[in-house]
Amino acid sequence: MPIYKKKNKDESVWVVRIFLGRDENGKQKFHKKIIKGTKKEAVTYETKKLRERDLGISIESTNTTLNKYLDEWLDKAAKHRLRERTFEDYKEYLKRYVRHVIGSKKLCDLKPLDIQKLYTDLLERNLSARTVRYAHAVLSSALKQAVKWQILVVNPCDAVDLPKQQRTEMNALTPAEATKFLEAARTDKWYVIFSLALATGMRPEEYLGLQWKDLNFDTGTMIVRRALVWKRKGGGWSLQEPKTSQSRRTIPLPVSVLKELREHRRKQNEERLSIGAEYQNNDFIFAGEFGTPILASNLFRRHFQPIITKLVEEGKLKKKIRLYDLRHSCATLLLSAGENPKVVSERLGHASIILTLDVYSHVLPDMQKSATEKIEKMLFSKNM
């Protein structure tokens, strides 16, 4: 009897009983569910579960909590497909924003409303839309895997509304400001880093992970094939694959930058010989006193920030910029000068030209104006 009234109870209580097969000992297995309501509601539940059973989806109730499932997902799925830094980010976001709020809920009982309330709470704590959307991406990825593993029928994250992400204002140096910056940075120990970053548009983790074998002085090119990644906890560093497959690229270098790199190598060799056996020869182009890699935060705080602060105080820059903004400046300068967006996209190592045009859309109006002037000159100047 698949549906029957529960004995000694009110008539509005029904028991749904679905046969699941037999275990290894030949004992029959059933899925049972108590439905408080009408018989029609019990029949609806039975029909849904029978369909799931026929599709091969597990319908057995489970006491597995979201936290327990996330542990399993991180260990069995995420760890083996994510870069180490990304994996650590996923763990941190789940710990900081998800686990303590809804982690104790049974996975099978998790509803879109629970997740929506979580996101609302995060926003009310004055966290940015970007943070909420990233937390959503991590949680959704985990629950999408639960659907693939036939633990869940649907991903509850698919039915929530996300906050609109506000595009942050792009900070980039004008040609005049870039020139002033390089002039002010020339006396700094790491001028060569700043000039390379501004000329190539590399990400900080890319140029700080460069090794001398990546530089070809004969062809004047630099190959980006790895990124320097620092562990969030416990210190330590590693060289990993770049952010995307397009991030692995070859970039021609300006003659002036090549000249600076030659002089930098000469000085580095002298320092290495003077230090002797204590020097760790990791082949880094940019290394600390004893050959160890440079931490981007130290580069910013001890070298870049003082230069920028002084320029702002002197009125030579409108506002302070980040180290990463040298990358934005490179792209903006090239696009403003009329360089093909496809070339700029490849130089930056973007996944697609669409991303480049979206990120640097603020440059497009000037490009359109230039295009209009060229059309005027080609087609109509003779008629004037």
Mean pLDDT per 10-residue interval, the chain, length 384 residues: 69 82 76 84 85 65 86 94 87 96 92 96 94 96 91 90 80 93 96 97 96 96 93 78 85 96 96 91 94 94 97 94 95 90 93 86 74 78 62
Q: Are residues 105 and 50 in the same domain?
A: no
Of 103, 110, 169, whose CA–CA distance to 318 is shortest? 169
Of 290, 326, 80, 296, whose CA–CA distance to 202 is shortest? 326
Residue-level pLDDT at 168? 67
- Domain termination residue (choose one: 322, 342, 376): 322
Phi, psi at 278, each rounded to 5°: -75, -15
Residue-level pLDDT at 56? 59
Q: Helix, strand, or coil here: 214?
A: helix
Q: Are residues 153 and 18 in the same domain?
A: no
Q: Are residues 312 and 214 in the same domain?
A: yes
Residue-level pLDDT at 60? 59
Does residue 351 form part of some domain?
Answer: no
Cα 89 from chain centroid (whole Å) = 9
Measured between alpha carbons, how far is 317 from 181 in angstroms, rounded to an integer? Answer: 9
Write out the residue range of the structural domain in which residue 297 sits: 175-322
Q: Are residues 50 and 70 in the same domain?
A: no
Does residue 226 form part of some domain?
Answer: yes
Q: Are residues 72 and 33 in the same domain?
A: no
Residue-level pLDDT at 97? 97
Does residue 140 form part of some domain?
Answer: yes
Does residue 383 form part of some domain?
Answer: no
Residue-level pLDDT at 382? 65
CATH number where 70 lies: 1.10.150.130
Does residue 126 form part of some domain?
Answer: yes
Q: Are residues 181 and 231 in the same domain?
A: yes
Residue-level pLDDT at 1? 62
Q: Are residues 82 and 10 in the same domain?
A: no
Does residue 97 form part of some domain?
Answer: yes
Q: Are residues 267 and 142 in the same domain?
A: no
Q: Whole-model pTM above 0.75?
A: no
Spell out a b/e string for 340-366, using b for 16 or more CB atoms within 10 Å of the CB, else e.
ebeebbbbbbbeeeeebbebbeebeee
Q: Are residues 191 and 295 in the same domain?
A: yes
Q: Are residues 152 and 105 in the same domain?
A: yes
Q: Are residues 180 and 318 in the same domain?
A: yes
- Domain termination residue (choose one: 159, 193, 225): 159
Does residue 138 form part of some domain?
Answer: yes
DSSP 173: -
User: Which position has the token pair 């497959």?
Assistant: 245
Measured between alpha carbons, how far is 355 from 352 in angstroms, rounded to an integer? Answer: 6
Does residue 349 form part of some domain?
Answer: no
Q: Are residues 240 and 274 in the same domain?
A: yes
- Domain termination residue (choose one: 106, 130, 159): 159
The total domain count for the chain is 3
> Both tokens of residue 69?
């499932």
Q: Which neighbouring-strand residues pair with 160?
A: none
